[in-house]
């Protein structure tokens, strides 16, 4: 599906534990993004990357970190998971940024208990 995969698709974790979500692309796109989707909030940007080792914060970055050591992989880490981070997480890729649209992965449903 446009060469973007997210893993895992579903995860249940305990409060206080670290969690890492993975996004992998085969399109060689420069830009990668992590969004979370919550009822009443739509899609909100957590972090994004504009190249290898180049990342920046989005609207809701507190409690999250990211890393991009290779063009194809963008990792999202919840340093110490909280119940408020229960959400559906989407990764997206773009060749040239927002004006050219994004391609989204299928999402990861994360539940923090």
Partner 1 sequence: DQQVKQNSPSLSVQEGRISILNCDYTNSMFDYFLWYKKYPAEGPTFLISISSIKDKNEDGRFTVFLNKSAKHLSLHIVPSQPGDSAVYFCAASARTGANNLFFGTGTRLTVIP
For partner 1, the binding residues (CB under 8 A) are: 1, 33, 35, 40-45, 48, 50, 56, 58, 90, 92, 97-99, 101-107
Give the residue with the Cβ less far from partner 1, 5 or 71: 5
Q: How far is the CB of 74 from partner 1 (least distance, A)?
A: 14
Q: How far is the CB of 110 from partner 1 (least distance, A)?
A: 14
Q: How far is the CB of 97 from partner 1 (least distance, A)?
A: 4
Give the residue with the Cβ less far from partner 1, 85 or 90: 90
User: What are the CA-CA distances from residue 68 to residues 77, 84, 91, 94 (Å)?
Assistant: 12, 25, 13, 15
Q: Is 24 in contact with 73 (CB distance < 8 Å)?
A: yes
Number of residues assigned to the chain: 113
Question: How many angstroms separate the CA atoms of 8 and 54, rounded?
Answer: 24
**Beta-sheet pairing, 54-57 with 10-13:** unpaired
First-residue to last-residue Cα distance in the chain: 31
Give the residue with the Cβ less far from partner 1, 65 or 109: 109
Q: How far is the CB of 32 from partner 1 (least distance, A)?
A: 12
Give the residue with the Cβ less far from partner 1, 92 or 112: 92
């Amino acid at each position: 599906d446009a060469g973007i995969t997210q893993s895992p698709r579903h995860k249940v974790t305990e409060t206080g534990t670290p969690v890492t979500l993975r996004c992998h692309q085969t399109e060689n796109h420069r830009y990668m993004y992590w969004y979370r989707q919550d009822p009443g909030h739509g899609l909100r940007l957590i972090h994004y990357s504009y190249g290898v080792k180049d990342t920046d914060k989005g609207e809701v970055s507190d409690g999250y970190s990211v890393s991009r050591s290779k063009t194809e992989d963008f990792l999202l880490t919840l340093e110490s998971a909280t119940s408020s981070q229960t959400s559906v997480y989407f990764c997206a890729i773009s060749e040239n940024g927002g004006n050219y649209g994004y391609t989204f992965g299928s999402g990861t449903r994360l539940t923090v208990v």
